[in-house]
């Protein structure tokens, strides 16, 4: 399964339903060496060259249930619809 957000396709997808946290990564998660937080409270992970390689979405199911979508700034704001994440959240 993969998830695409803002033209970035994450091929590693892991959802922790107990904590309502969705982990998205491109390739091996150990490539992340730098971390940042979005204004919305999500975590971004970057490789040694500064490329975005991972995103951790905090409470995505809650946000989707509440408003039908969520916003993540990576580095520009991107709106994510329920249709984009529903397969990952129900896997």
Tokens of 22: 């969705």
pLDDT, position 33 = 94
Tokens of 3: 């998830």
Question: What residues does each domain of the chain span?
Answer: 3-78
Q: Name the pTM for this structure.
A: 0.84
pLDDT, position 80 = 85
Q: Residues 13, 23: contact at Cβ < 8 Å?
A: yes
| 59 three-class SS | coil
DSSP one-letter code for 29: G
pLDDT, position 91 = 67
Q: Residues 49, 82: contact at Cβ < 8 Å?
A: no
Who contacts 67 (Cβ-Cβ below 8 Å, separation ≥6)? none
Each residue's pLDDT, cut to its tens digit, for the chain (91 residues) gives: 899 988 889 999 999 999 999 999 999 988 999 999 999 999 999 999 999 999 999 999 999 999 888 989 887 778 888 888 888 888 6
């Amino acid at each position: 399964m993969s998830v695409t957000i803002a033209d970035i396709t994450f091929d590693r997808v892991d959802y922790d339903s107990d904590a309502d946290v969705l982990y998205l990564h491109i390739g091996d998660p150990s490539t992340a060496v730098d971390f940042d937080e979005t204004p919305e409270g999500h975590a971004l992970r970057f490789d040694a060259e500064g490329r975005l390689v991972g995103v951790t979405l905090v409470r995505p199911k809650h946000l989707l249930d509440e408003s039908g979508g969520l916003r993540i700034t990576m580095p520009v704001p991107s709106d994510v619809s329920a249709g984009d994440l529903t397969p990952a959240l129900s896997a």
